[in-house]
């Protein structure tokens, strides 16, 4: 997952970054609220970890802007030295999803982040998941469309699954490259466009088939279902105990 952390104390940021990387996430660090707010207009993240007291803007003000102006439902966790009940109430009322008091305890931070991500993205870890006629089998790294196997290369499969798991979200180019190619700074930009083009063709992602994979100039890509109810994600039926 792609996480952004905002704290004006470098050693706290370093601790958060190492903690997130320790459970397999990419962490992007910010020391100023205005810089994070600027990037949120152009970048996409899966979760935010925010401090309260910042040099340029308060943590609750950042949350309110994200919820109201950006209209984003991204999970937000406050990690702050404030510990009064009134502070927790104010933070949650501003739109945060959880509240954790410093000093940071690594195990607690990991547990809270895992819980938030699990609630926000429940389909990410299921062994099999279907989106209309598209059926992903994650253990086998295989995809079937209307029961017919589709041959995909490794990164094509990773990109397809990530797009479907994030149906309706505008995903920045950097977010997509990190999810599929990792955080390597030399990941080729044109390779993403090439993979997107191949997926459109191989998976026939067009409105006539119920899906639209569109580019948003200067930002990234969004996969949308033309009929949200018909193409909502669903898990395969559970096998009975006798099966």
The pair phi, psi for residue 101, each rounded to 5°, is: -95, 135
Query: Domain map of the chain by residue range?
Result: 2-120, 128-234
| Rounded distance between C-alpha atoms, residue 222 and residue 15, angstroms | 33
CA atoms within 13 A on the CB side of 236: 12
Query: Out of 32-36, 128-132, 200-204, 238-242, which region has the weakest mean confidence (pLDDT)?
Result: 238-242
Q: Give yes or no for a contact between 25 and 2, defined as CB atoms under 8 angstroms apart.
A: yes
Dihedral (Cα; 106, 109, 113, 114), 10-degree rounding: 50
In the numeric block, the tokens 């990773």 are attached to 158
CA distances from 134 to 60, 129, 160, 164, 204 (A): 40, 8, 10, 9, 11
- pTM comes to 0.79
Please indicate whether the domains covering 2-120 and 128-234 agree at the CATH topology level.
no
At 10, is the secondary structure helix, strand, or coil? Answer: helix
Q: Are strands 142-145 and 134-137 parallel, antiparallel or unpaired?
A: antiparallel
| Rounded distance between C-alpha atoms, residue 93 and residue 63, angstroms | 10
The neighbour count for residue 212, using CB atoms within 10 Å, is 15
What confidence score (pLDDT) does residue 242 get? 37
The neighbour count for residue 62, using CB atoms within 10 Å, is 26
CATH of span 2-120: 3.40.50.2300
Tens digit of pLDDT for each residue in 180-197? 988 665 555 678 999 999
The pair phi, psi for residue 77, each rounded to 5°, is: -120, 120
Closest to 78 (Cα-Cα) out of 5, 185, 21: 5
pLDDT for 241 beyond 50? no
pLDDT for 28 beyond 60? yes
What confidence score (pLDDT) does residue 138 get? 86
The pair phi, psi for residue 33, each rounded to 5°, is: -65, -40
pLDDT for 238 beyond 80? no
Tens digit of pLDDT for each residue in 81-121? 988 999 999 999 999 999 999 999 999 999 999 999 999 88
Tens digit of pLDDT for each residue in 159-172? 999 999 999 999 99
Tens digit of pLDDT for each residue in 44-90? 999 999 999 888 889 999 999 999 988 889 999 999 998 899 999 99
Q: Which CATH class is domain 128-234?
A: mainly alpha
């Amino acid at each position: 997952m792609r996480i952004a952390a905002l704290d004006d104390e470098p050693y706290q940021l370093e601790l958060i970054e190492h903690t997130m990387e320790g459970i397999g996430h990419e962490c992007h660090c910010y020391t100023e609220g205005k810089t994070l707010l600027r990037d949120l207009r152009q970048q996409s993240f899966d979760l935010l970890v925010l401090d309260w007291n910042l040099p340029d803007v308060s943590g609750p003000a950042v949350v309110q802007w994200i919820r109201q102006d950006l209209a984003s439902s991204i999970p937000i966790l406050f990690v702050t030295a404030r510990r009064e009940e009134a502070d927790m109430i104010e933070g949650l009322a501003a739109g945060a999803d959880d509240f954790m008091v410093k000093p940071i305890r690594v195990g607690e931070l990991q547990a809270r982040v895992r819980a938030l991500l699990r609630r926000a993205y429940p389909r990410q870890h299921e062994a099999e998941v279907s989106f209309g006629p598209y059926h992903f089998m994650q253990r086998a790294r295989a995809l079937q469309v209307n029961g017919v196997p589709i041959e995909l290369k490794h990164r094509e499969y990773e990109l397809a699954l990530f797009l479907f798991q994030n149906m309706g979200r505008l995903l920045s180019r950097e977010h997509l490259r990190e999810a599929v190619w990792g955080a390597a700074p030399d990941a080729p930009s044109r390779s993403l466009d090439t993979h997107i083009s191949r997926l459109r063709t191989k998976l026939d992602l067009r409105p006539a088939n119920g899906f639209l994979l569109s580019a948003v100039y200067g930002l990234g890509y969004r996969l949308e279902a033309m009929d949200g109810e018909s193409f909502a994600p669903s898990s395969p039926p559970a096998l009975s105990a006798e099966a």
